[in-house]
Chain A
Amino acid sequence: TQLLEQSPQFLSIQEGENLTVYCNSSSVFSSLQWYRQEPGEGPVLLVTVVTGGEVKKLKRLTFQFGDARKDSSLHITAAQPGDTGLYLCAVTTSGTYKYIFGTGTRLKVLA
């Protein structure tokens, strides 16, 4: 059983379209992170959300942490080819530094 379920698994869209990807769990977390990984490279942190209901914006990317701190979404407005990559959510298990990553959403934005 995967602790973090991400959906969709794959997404291919045209430049300029909007999209939302999701990270869901049945567990409650104190914080949740989103990373982006480009081909041949390691993941890079985009944002950390820590408060239920919190919304953070990073240029065209909007991140939201669910009110119950069990889920999160990432919305991209007017997607660009540079947004192409694997988007991963990550959490730590309570009281430890054991990070758990979701399976990821692989996004391809076509010019």
Chain B
Amino acid sequence: NAGVTQTPKFQVLKTGQSMTLQCAQDMNHEYMSWYRQDPGMGLRLIHYSVGAGITDQGEVPNGYNVSRSTTEDFPLRLLSAAPSQTSVYFCASMHHSGGASNEQFFGPGTRLTVL
């Protein structure tokens, strides 16, 4: 199993450009999520999904869109990039068994710079 994969690994954008960060998992996990990690801020939840066709907002959703058309994929879209979105982005997946203490498996991250 590849686990959770993210592409690209690095990306540089200009202000106002759009792009999609890709995330895929091959563990048949129902739950998937996107986080951003900034120095001194830990990980902050952007959006999450508990199954195909279901998404919800996390702590910092503004400026980001998501969709979940399949169990495997959970892309994160930046419609108009801003310098404040410079960060490292992590995707995670988890078996959604009904408990809140399950293990999230994280991808290797995408380092995004917005100029």
Contacts and interface: CB of A to CB of B under 8 A. Distances in A.
15 contacts: A9-B40, A30-B101, A40-B108, A41-B109, A42-B4, A42-B107, A43-B104, A44-B106, A48-B101, A92-B101, A97-B96, A97-B100, A101-B44, A102-B42, A103-B41
B90 A42 contact: yes
B45 A41 contact: no
Contacts of A90: 43
Interface of A: 4, 6, 9, 30-31, 33, 40-45, 48, 50, 88, 90, 92, 97-104
Contacts of A97: 31, 48, 50, 96, 100
B108 A41 contact: yes
B101 A33 contact: yes
Nearest to B58: A98
Contacts, number: 60
A33 B103 CA distance: 9
B32 to A, nearest CB: 11
Contacts of A41: 106, 108-109
B40 A99 contact: no
A50 B48 CA distance: 23
Interface residues of B, number: 26
Interface string B29-55: 001010100001111110010100000
A45 B58 contact: no
A45 to B, nearest CB: 5
A30 B35 CA distance: 22
Contact of A42 (B40, B58, B103, B106): B106
B92 interface: yes
Contacts of B50: 97
Contact of A100 (B56, B59, B96, B106): B59
Contacts of A104: 42
